Each structure stands twice: as C-alpha cells, then as structure tokens.
C-alpha cells in the first residue's frame, strides 16, 4: 500500500439543538446528530481529500482504504504544496457557568418564550425567537503524531420583532451567542429592546445618501474590521492574488491610530482551542499603528506567502480547513464617545448591522446598518433608517479620524467558500471622514 | 448504497414501523450521494475532494404536535426517532390533516439523470477544468481560482401512509474567479447534464469581465436608467421577493404581500411562477411527498397565489402547493421554490443608454420585509445598443425592489437558466445611483 507524505483527520461528533418560537407558539424543538470526518493527504503535489460520514463506525481497515482513495485523488492534483512548520498545541476550553446540555429542553423552551413574549408590545405584529446549541467532540490527528481532542458547546439566541403602522413596516432584532454557557436567563429586556427598535423605526425617516462624515458604532465598526480588513488579510486570498493587501506588507495603509487584531485565543464566540490543522492558535496583529503588520495564515499559505502567523485554519464540520478569522477587532483609541460625536459635527451615526460583504480583490466593501441618527452641530438628532456604507478598503483606513475608548465585541457567523464559522467582531466607536452612505431619502 | 448488512430501504421501513407502533404518523426524508470536486489554486489543481453523503430527517406527528430530527449515522436512527418524538412533546399543537397520501404526479417522468456523470469519474471533472482553462488562455487576466464538480444522488421521501418516492439525479458545475489589477471577475455554470454545461463560456467570460472592468470611470450621483443582469435580478428576488411569497411569512405578517392577494401589486407585464418540471431542481413530488405543480404567484402584475407546505396549509386552511423543501433545521421541511421563473412581455431593452449591473455586492443586507435595499454594484458599466461600452469603477444602487417591480421599463428577450430559476435581464428607469 502506498503511504502519504502527510495526512490529517478531523472528526466531529456533534449534536445540534434548535428551538423556534413564532408569535408565542413553539414551532419546533429539535435535535440532530452528526458524525463526520474530513481526511486530507499530501503526496508529491496537492491535497487529496475525502469526507466521511458516519465516521465512528469505521474500522482501522476502512480508514486505511479511505487514505488510499485520497491518495488516488491527490494524484490528480498539480499544485506543489509545502507546509510551514508551526507550533502545535491546544488551549484549555474555558469552563461554562451553566452547561446548556444539562438544562432540559422544556426549561430552554420556557426561557426562550420569556424573551420572545417580551417583544409583543403595541404596534408589533410579529415576534419570533430562535435558540441554537451546537456541541460536540472534535478529534484531530495527523501523521506527525499530533493528536488533540476537545469538547465545546456554543449556544445563543436571537429575537426579532416586526412593527407596522399604516403602510409602514419595520423590524428590530437582538441576538447573543457564547461559548461560556447558557445565556438566556433574565434576558426579557432583549426582546423588549428588539421590539422598541422596530416601533421607533416606524417614525424614522429614510436616510439621504451621499458622501458625509460618519460615526460607526461598535457593532458596525466591528463588521468593518471583519469585512474590510480581516478578509483582505487572509493568506489564501493573498496567495491567489485576490487581495488588495497583497504586496503591501510594512506599508502604511491607514491612519496611525488604527490597530486591527485577530485573536482566536480570546474566550469570545470565535474562540478555538486548536486550529483546523493542529496548530496552536495565536494572536495576530494585522495592522499596527496604521502599518500592515501580518497576514492570517494556515501552514500552506504561510509557506507560500510568509509575513504572518499560521494557526488561523478553521473548518465547518466535514469541510476543508481554510484561512479564517476568529475574534477580529479594532483596538481602543484615546478619544471619548462624546468627543467622537462632537468632532463629527454634521454627519450621521450608523448603528447595528444587517450584515455585509466584501470583494477583497477589488478592495470594495458594502454593509448595512440597522438604523442611525443624524448628527447636527455635534449633537445626536433625528433617527433614520435603511442606511448602508460602502467604500474602498485602502482609502477608508486612512479616513478613520478618531477611535473612541469603548470597544465592544459582537458574536455572529461568517461565511466563506460555503462554510459558516462562529466569529466575534469588535471595535470602539469610530469617526470616518468622507464616508459613502447609501440611503433612499 | 449499502450500510453494513442493512439496506437504506430497510432502515426507512424500520423507522416507519417503529414510529407507527408508538402511535405516531412518521415520515422519513432520505438522501445519499457521492461527488467529486476539484479546486483550482491559480491555474493549477490544488485540491481533489471526494465525498459520500448519507443523511436522513425524521418527522413524527401526534395530536397535531410535530417533531423533527436528523442524522448522518445509519446506526443512530433510534436516537434520531427518539429525539423527534421528544421534540414533538414541546411543540404547540396545530391543525393537522395527515401526512401526504399516495398520489399520481402531475407529469409522467422527469429527465434529470445523465448516465455520463453517474460514474463520478475524476477524469470527467478534470476535463471540465481543462476546457475552462483553455478557453481562458490568451486573455490578459490572472486566474485566481476555480472549480469543477460532478455529483450523483438519490432522495427518497416515505411515510406511514404508504408514500415512497425516490428520485435519482446528477449534477455538474464549474466556476472561475479572475483578477486583472484590482478588477475582479467571476462566472459559473451548473446543470444536470454534462452536454448542457458550458465551461468554455465560463472561462472566457470570467477573464473578459476582469479585463473589461479595469480602469473604470467614476459615475456622478444621480438618477439613471439601469439594466440588471439575470444574476443581479436573481440576487434581489432571493433576498426579498421569494421570502415574501411564502404562505408562512404572509400569514405571520412578515411579508410585504400580506393582504394583497388578488391585487395588482406589480407591473402589468410581470409574471412570477414556479415550474418544478424543468431545470436541475425539477421534481415530481416535494420533500413531503405532495405532487408538485406549476404555481402562478403573480400573473400580469396580480398576486394570485402563495407557496404552502402541509404544515402551513393545515394551519391556515389552505392547500399545499407542493412547495416543501428540506432546508430547515433538524431536517424539517420548509417552504421553498423548485425552479423560480420571472416572465412577461419580452422586448428589446438594450437600445437606449443605461447603467448595467453584472452583479450585486451585499444583496442579503436588503430589508426582507419592506424591500428597501442599498447595494454596491460589481462589474458595472455603461451599456448602449446591447454593448457594454465603458466600465464604471464603483457605484451604489439604492431602491425598493417592490417599487421597482411596479414599474419595469422592460423585460429582455434573453433569459439565463440557473438550474433552480430562469431569469431575464430587467430594465428600470430613474433609479438612484450613488457615485464616489
């Protein structure tokens, strides 16, 4: 039998629990089971890969057969792959305050219902809440003798409300996700907050688009750090030439007050104890004092590109590990929130996020705020809705004029190459000069 | 596929028998398949991935309480059934008229199986890449990546009323990502049949797109005539219009179209329908075993129907439209589309000068309830007489998709078949474009 130059196997044996409540009714409370592994081999050239379902039942003999199949696939590849050396190791998974798996489905339904019912206020015509819990055992082993096993449980909820008055319909949403245990107790105020936002948006005016100075709140500025900076710093995109940050290492690409970090070791939602190829996760400073300092890498892209840290490979269950962000944020500056608003003078405050997208090769990003406020004479004025922000990555980083000292982190999910992984984005309030704002007013 | 000594059909029978014995209506949705996926890294094949998939979703119902669960381990079917039953105990009861009963399909058969793909040979996937790359040869764009894939799979829906329908289908696809300076290009194609796939076109167009969009000019903020490509139209329809046609969203008041049945809400030349008998997603029965049919959602601008699965139909005293798909959590059926088509009076829409949007960045950030959106255009250009003239560097498009569909300047004669939808180019007048 042929033997590979290198192989690794990442197996996830997991359970997902999901509860859905719609207008006060429990629509579903379900559990599902997965047992999937991904096997990668290297021989001479590129990766031969096999995804294996129902992995636990496989015998040693069957796994060897899968390795032979993967070797056959590998022989069809052409790219020469070199893996950089990177310190292997595993971090401790933080202890949970209250393990969601030990709470009955009935109690979890009740807690979610409290949050959902709190959103049913005047003018609200629909309320909805979801709870998700994904837990499982991850096992990694490679042909170098590294072997790691860890158990992690990620859980959280979202609540949304739709308000209507006359012909105007608006929506509000709140969500929280964590690795630190059940987070649904005494959270009715989150349901109320989502509902109150939907109702107050009924009176908000559509924003007027154009070029203006803007203040980004912590959540939207976090999305900016993730979409505009984080993706472009991913080593696979740099390697294939589809990042505007390619060839910019050591160059000043932003205002000197801008520091951007990706840190998978933080106990936030994007935490991982060991990366998708057995490398010990490390904090990586992507931008330091406005200068491009590091790319995010896996072992292959580190060898091919250099300038950065491996330990950023992640994979959805049963998928190929690729370079991903984890907990990505802009560091605090030394301005206060009040100074940021006052310095903006006349412009717009963008709050919350409905998501975003980036074309890292072109260097263009787009994302939507949930709502906002006009800033007039350095003070907050009327509420506005349906706002978006676009820009060129390299120009925008120079246009960040002030960073406040009030960083906050927001958990969510990031999609890339069809894979979703848990992440956290964060930032303090930012003042962005000459922002391109989209609006319908 | 055999799983140990027990066949898949035997597992399905066992689950239904066990569920029935406990007094539950029981339904199993089962899928198994295999595929090959090749990934280009630059111009070279960097990854070759083979997969064998096996998964099933179980749904049980008793006294109007519904429970679901799913697994990809044949040996865990008992845990999965237990989990579905446990979940059903917490679900609030609803009106329920029973799982689907055996019935005849609306058409006799479907053509969704290509013998030449079925072997899932790696050389077939390699050949697709070679054809795509050779068509790209000589065009001054860098190939950043790409892929080819072939797959074969079987889905079965079976229930305690004796329904048992299987469908075996094949699929193939290619994509290419390119860059020239900081101008990017992307193109893709997919089909159920190898002969219908056009890797040469994908390779050529992905490269030409990156080259053409180089050195784009600025556009001044203002109102312009805009032509949206089928892909751009598809992105906006998927984000806003398709969810608003779901019977569940309508009855839950989360749809802009709630209370508008029978009203002329759209432009008189617009029709929207689901045609489940064509395309790569074609099927005779939906994911609950209900026969599929053509659904005319919007006819000549008038809202005529919404989409229903069994659960929503029973609850609101409607009839299932055969619109169940398995995309829900825990293997639950939800309302979806099989092959969504936009049609209407076709005309030549390319004569007059307009802004052309090849794609949209951030369609998913649109307001799904109201239809308001504000997106960045990708590979935008000026278009005149059907020819893309000068590229536009960056432009943002703001509008409301429902307002736009009330007043369409024109629907093109040409359509693009996405496999799960057939969509033409649309022309609009006076849309807001924000320049830099």
Task: Tell me the DSSP string of A43-81.
Answer: SSSSEEEEEEESGGG--HHHHHHHHHHHHHHHTT-----
Contact: A439, B144; criterion CB under 8 Å:
no
* Pair A163, A227 in one domain: no
pLDDT exceeds cutoff 80 at B225: yes
Instruction: Verify that B177 and B234 share a domain, yes or no.
Output: no
CA dihedral of residues A253, A259, A262, A267 (deg, nearest 10):
-170
Give how far B167 is from chain A: nearest CA, Å.
21
Residue pLDDT, tens place only, A308-363: 999 999 999 999 999 999 999 999 999 999 999 999 999 999 999 988 889 999 99
What's the mean pLDDT in A266-275?
98
Q: Chain A partners of B83 at a C-beta cutoff of 8 Å? A: 30-33
Pairwise CA distance, residues B16 & B60, whole Å: 9
Which chain B residues are within 8 Å of A206, Cβ to Cβ?
Answer: 372
Q: Which domain holds residue A175?
A: 6-203
Of A22, A242, A320, the CB nearest to B47: A320
Measured in angstroms, the CA of B104 and the nearest CA of chain A are apart by 30
**What is the helix, strand, coil percentage profile of chain A, to 5?**
20, 45, 35
Confidence of residue B2 (pLDDT cuts 50, 70, 90): very low
Same domain, B202 and B132: yes
Residue A303 maps to a domain: yes
Tens of pLDDT, residue by residue over B36-55, are: 999 999 999 999 999 999 99
Residue A37 domain-assigned? yes
Q: At B329, is the pLDDT very low, low, confident or very high (cuts 50, 70, 90)?
A: low
Q: Nearest by CB to A386, from B54, B73, B372: name it.
A: B372
Specify the pLDDT at position A167: 84
From CA B70, how far away is CA B329, in angstroms rounded?
9
Q: Are B246 and B335 in contact (CB under 8 A)?
A: yes
Per the structure, how many domains does chain A have? 2
Digit-coded pLDDT (tens) for B179-224: 999 899 999 999 999 999 999 999 999 999 999 999 999 999 999 9
Domain boundary among B192, B208, B224: B208
Closest residue in A to B364 (Cα–Cα): A355
**Cβ atoms of residues A282 and A299 within 8 Å:** no
**pLDDT score, position A341:** 98
Restricting to B residues 286-325, those with a Cβ less than 8 Å away from any Cβ of A are none
Listed in sequence order, the residues at least 6 apart from A367 whose beta carbon sits closer than 8 Å to its beta carbon are A220, A223, A224, A227, A353, A354, A355, A356, A357, A388, A389, A390, B362, B365
Residue from A31, A34, A413 whose CB has the most chain B CBs within 10 Å, to mutate: A31
Asked if A75 and A172 sit in the same domain, the reply is yes
> Rounded distance, CA B280 to CA B172, Å?
10
pLDDT at B6: 66
Q: Are B83 and B116 in contact (CB under 8 A)?
A: no
Backbone dihedral angles phi then psi of residue A409, each to the nearest 5 degrees: -110, 140
Q: What is the pLDDT of residue B330?
A: 66
A275 in the same domain as A399:
yes
CA angle (B160 as vertex; B159, B165 as ends), nearest 5: 30
Is the pLDDT confidence value at A264 over 90?
Answer: yes
CA gap A296, B237 in Å, rounded: 35
Q: How far apart are CA A194 and CA A174, in angstroms?
A: 6
Higher pLDDT: B229 or B329? It is B229
Rounded-to-integer distance, Cα A219 and Cα B71, Å: 36
Least Cα separation, residue B58 to chain A (angstroms): 10
Cβ separation A357–B361 shorter than 8 A? yes
Let me know if residue A1 belongs to a domain: no
CB contact under 8 A, B41 and A27: no
B396 interfacial to chain A (CB closer than 8 Å): yes
Give the pLDDT score at B3.
41
Residue at a domain's end among B180, B208, B236: B208
Average pLDDT for B324-330 = 77
Cα dihedral across residues A177, A183, A184, A189: positive or negative = negative
Identify whether residues B237 and B383 lie together within a single domain: yes
Question: Do the strands B421-434 and B222-228 form a parallel or antiparallel pair, or are they unpaired?
Answer: antiparallel
Closest CA to B255 of B316, B194, B199, B202: B316
Question: Mind telling me how many Å the CA of B285 is from chain A's nearest CA?
Answer: 24
CATH number of the domain where residue B195 is located: 3.30.2290.10
Check CB contact of B330 with chain A, cutoff 8 Å: yes
Instruction: Write down the ipTM of this complex.
Output: 0.93
Question: What would the mean pLDDT of A223-244 be, rounded to a whole number?
Answer: 96
Q: Are B392 and B363 in contact (CB under 8 A)?
A: no
Residues B220 and B346 in one domain: yes
Alpha carbon distance B48, A40 (integer Å): 10
Place of tokens 């992690």: A152
pLDDT in tens, B100-125: 999 999 998 999 999 999 888 999 99
Report the residue count for chain B.
436
Among B183, B208, B233, residue at a domain's last position: B208
Mean pLDDT of B288-299: 98
Chain B residue numbers touching A226 (CB-CB < 8 A): none
Last residue of a domain, which of A140, A168, A203? A203
Q: Rounded mean pLDDT of chain A?
A: 96
User: What stretch of H or E contains A303?
Assistant: helix A299-305
Considering the domain architecture, whether residues B264 and B236 belong to the same structural domain is answered as yes
| Contacts made by residues A300-307, CB under 8 angstroms, sequence distance 24+ | A300/A81, A300/A82, A300/A83, A300/A84, A301/A235, A301/A236, A301/A238, A301/A239, A302/A84, A302/A86, A302/A235, A303/A82, A303/A83, A303/A84, A304/A82, A304/A235, A304/A239, A305/A235, A305/A238, A305/A239, A307/A249
- Confidence category of residue B135, pLDDT binned at 50, 70, 90: very high
**Alpha-carbon gap, residue A266 to A283, rounded angstroms:** 9
Contact: A355, B364; criterion CB under 8 Å: yes
pLDDT value at position B328?
A: 61
* pLDDT, position B1: 42
Write out pLDDT tens, residues B339-392: 999 999 999 999 999 999 999 988 888 988 889 998 999 999 999 998 999 999
Residues of chain B by 3-state class (helix, strand, coil), percent to 5:
25, 40, 35
| Mean pLDDT (chain B, rounded) | 94
Share of chain A above pLDDT 70, in %: 100
Closest Cα partner for B31 from A30, A320, A318, A53?
Answer: A53
Split at pLDDT 50, 70, 90, the class of A41 is very high
Which of B90, B368, B436 lies nearest to residue A26, judging by beta carbons? B90
Distance CA B386, CA B356 (A): 10
| DSSP per-residue codes, B293-310 | --EEEEETTEE---B--H
Whether residue A271 contacts residue A264, with contact meaning beta carbons closer than 8 Å, is answered with yes
What is the tens place of the pLDDT at every residue in A375-408? Answer: 999 999 999 998 899 999 999 999 999 999 999 9
The string of pLDDT tens digits covering residues A72-103 is 999 999 999 999 999 999 999 999 999 999 99
Residue B5 has pLDDT above 60, yes or no: no
Average pLDDT over residues A299-307: 98
Percentage of chain A exceeding pLDDT 90: 93
State the greatest distance between any 2 C-alpha atoms of chain A, in Å, as a whole number. Answer: 76
CB-nearest to B79 from A33, A54, A76 is: A33
Residue B406 sits in the same domain as residue B269: yes
C-alpha dist (Å) from residue B129 to A87, A194, B198, B272: 36, 48, 11, 35
C-alpha angle A46-A315-A150 in degrees, rounded to nearest 5: 120
Q: Are A55 and A39 in contact (CB under 8 A)?
A: no
Query: Domain of B282?
Result: 216-436
Q: Is the CB of residue A310 less than 8 Å from the CB of residue A86?
A: yes
């Amino acid at each position: 039998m042929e033997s590979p130059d290198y192989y690794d196997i990442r197996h996830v044996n997991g359970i997902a629990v999901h509860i859905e409540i719609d207008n006060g009714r429990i629509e579903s409370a379900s559990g599902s089971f997965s047992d999937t592994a991904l096997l990668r081999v290297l021989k001479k050239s590129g990766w031969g890969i096999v995804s294996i379902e129902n992995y636990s039942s496989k015998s040693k003999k069957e796994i060897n057969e899968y390795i032979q199949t993967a070797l056959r696939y590998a022989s069809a590849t052409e790219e020469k792959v070199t893996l950089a050396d990177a310190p292997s190791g595993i971090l401790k998974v933080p202890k949970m305050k209250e393990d969601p798996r030990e709470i009955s489905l009935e109690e979890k339904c009740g807690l979610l219902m409290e949050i959902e019912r709190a959103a049913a206020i005047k003018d609200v015509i629909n309320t909805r809440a979801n709870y998700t819990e994904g837990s499982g055992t991850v096992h990694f082993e490679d042909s170098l003798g590294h072997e790691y096993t860890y158990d992690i449980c990620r859980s959280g909820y979202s609540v949304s409300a739709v308000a209507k008055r006359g012909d105007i319909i608006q929506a509000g949403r709140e969500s929280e996700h964590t690795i630190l245990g059940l987070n649904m107790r005494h959270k009715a105020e989150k349901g109320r907050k989502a509902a109150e936002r939907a109702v107050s948006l009924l009176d908000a005016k559509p924003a007027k688009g154009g070029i203006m100075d803007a203040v980004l709140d912590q959540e939207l500025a976090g999305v900016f750090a993730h979409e505009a900076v984080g993706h472009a710093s991913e080593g696979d995109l740099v390697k294939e030439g589809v990042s505007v940050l390619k060839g910019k290492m050591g160059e000043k690409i932003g205002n000197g007050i801008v520091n951007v970090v990706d840190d998978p070791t933080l106990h936030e939602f994007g935490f991982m104890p060991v990366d998708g190829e057995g490398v010990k996760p490390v904090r990586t400073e992507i931008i330091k004092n406005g200068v491009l300092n590091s790319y995010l890498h896996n072992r292959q892209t580190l060898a091919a590109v250099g300038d950065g840290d491996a330990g950023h490979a992640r994979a959805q269950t049963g998928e190929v590990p690729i370079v991903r962000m984890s907990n990505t944020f802009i560091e605090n500056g030394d301005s206060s929130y009040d100074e940021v608003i006052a310095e903006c003078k006349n412009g717009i405050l963008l709050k919350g996020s409905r998501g975003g997208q980036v074309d890292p090769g072109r260097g263009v990003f787009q994302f939507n705020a949930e709502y906002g406020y006009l800033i007039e004479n350095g003070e907050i004025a009327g509420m506005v809705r349906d706002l978006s922000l676009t820009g060129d990555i390299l120009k925008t980083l120079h246009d960040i004029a002030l960073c406040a000292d009030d960083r906050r982190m927001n958990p969510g999910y990031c999609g890339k190459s069809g894979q979703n992984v848990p992440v956290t984005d964060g930032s303090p309030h930012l003042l962005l000069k000459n922002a391109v704002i989209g609006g319908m007013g | 596929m055999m799983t140990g000594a027990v066949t898949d059909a035997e597992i399905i029978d066992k689950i239904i028998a066990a569920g029935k014995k406990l007094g539950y209506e029981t339904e199993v949705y089962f899928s198994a398949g295999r595929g090959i996926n090749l990934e280009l890294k630059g111009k070279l094949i960097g990854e070759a991935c083979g997969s064998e998939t096996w998964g099933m979703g179980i749904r049980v119902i008793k006294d109007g309480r519904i429970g679901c669960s799913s697994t990809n381990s044949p040996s865990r079917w008992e845990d999965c059934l237990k989990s579905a039953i446990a979940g059903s105990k917490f679900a609030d009861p609803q009106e329920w008229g029973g799982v689907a009963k055996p019935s005849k399909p609306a058409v006799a058969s479907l053509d969704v199986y290509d013998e030449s793909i079925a072997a899932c040979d790696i050389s077939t996937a390699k050949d697709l890449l070679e054809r795509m790359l050779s068509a790209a040869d000589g065009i001054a764009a860098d190939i950043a990546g790409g892929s080819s894939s072939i797959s074969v799979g079987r889905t079965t829906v079976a229930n305690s009323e004796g329904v048992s329908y299987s469908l075996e289908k094949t699929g193939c696809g290619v994509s290419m990502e390119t860059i020239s300076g900081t101008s990017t290009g992307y193109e893709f194609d997919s089909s159920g049949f190898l002969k219908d796939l056009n890797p040469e076109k994908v390779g050529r167009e992905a490269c030409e797109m990156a080259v053409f969009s180089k050195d784009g000019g600025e556009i001044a903020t203002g109102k312009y005539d805009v032509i949206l490509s089928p892909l751009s139209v598809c992105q906006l329809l998927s984000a806003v219009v398709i969810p608003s046609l779901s019977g569940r969203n309508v009855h839950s008041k989360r749809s802009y179209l709630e209370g508008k049945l029978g009203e002329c809400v759209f432009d008189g030349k617009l029709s929207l329908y689901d045609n489940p008998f064509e395309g790569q997603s074609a099927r005779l029965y939906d994911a609950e075993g209900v026969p599929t049919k053509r659904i005319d959602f919007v006819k000549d601008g008038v809202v005529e129907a919404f989409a229903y699965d069994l659960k929503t139909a029973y609850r609101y005293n409607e009839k299932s439209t055969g619109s169940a798909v398995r995309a829900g959590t825990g293997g639950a059926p939800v309302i979806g589309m099989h092959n969504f088509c936009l049609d209407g009076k076709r005309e030549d829409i390319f004569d007059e000068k307009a802004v052309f949007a090849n794609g949209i960045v951030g369609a998913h950030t649109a307001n799904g309830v109201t239809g308001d959106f504000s997106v960045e255009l990708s590979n935008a250009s000026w278009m005149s007489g059907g020819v893309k003239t000068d590229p536009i560097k960056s432009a943002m498009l703001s509008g409301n998709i429902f307002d736009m569909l009330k007043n369409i300047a024109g629907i093109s004669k040409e359509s693009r078949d996405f496999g799960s939808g057939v969509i033409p180019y649309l022309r609009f007048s006076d849309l807001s474009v924000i320049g830099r």
